[in-house]
Amino acid sequence: MLVDYDTFVNVLMPDKTVPQRLYKPDGLDFRLKPGSPAIDAGVVLPTINDDFSGRAPDIGAYESGKPIPHYGPR
């Protein structure tokens, strides 16, 4: 399955003319867009992704319908 920048809610293609540019992670959203073919297209990996929602795990950074994990201090 081909997953491209437009598969996600807000992920921009890097500017190839400025390869050293840093991007602010707060402005990016790696959740899958609703209706994406990557939703429910993954394979169950016992003890790793068996808390998925839907028919199967999603192929992507986050599972659709689940809260985004929070890392670090709260």
Condensed to tens digits (0 to 9), the pLDDT of residues 12-66 reads: 888 889 888 888 888 888 899 999 999 999 999 999 888 898 999 999 878 998 8
- CB count within 10 Å of CB 48 equals 8
Full-model pTM: 0.76
Please report how many Cα atoms fall inside a 13 Å half-sphere around the Cα of residue 14, on the Cβ side. 10
Give the pLDDT band (50/70/90) at residue 70: confident
pLDDT value at 71 more than 90: no
Cβ proximity of 10 and 27 under 8 Å: yes
Q: What would the pLDDT profile of 60-69 be if each residue is shown by its tens digit?
A: 878 998 888 8
What are the two backbone dihedrals, phi and then psi, of residue 51, each rounded to the nearest 5 degrees? -105, 30
What 3-state DSSP class applies to 5? helix
What pLDDT, on the 0 to 100 scale, is given for residue 32?
94
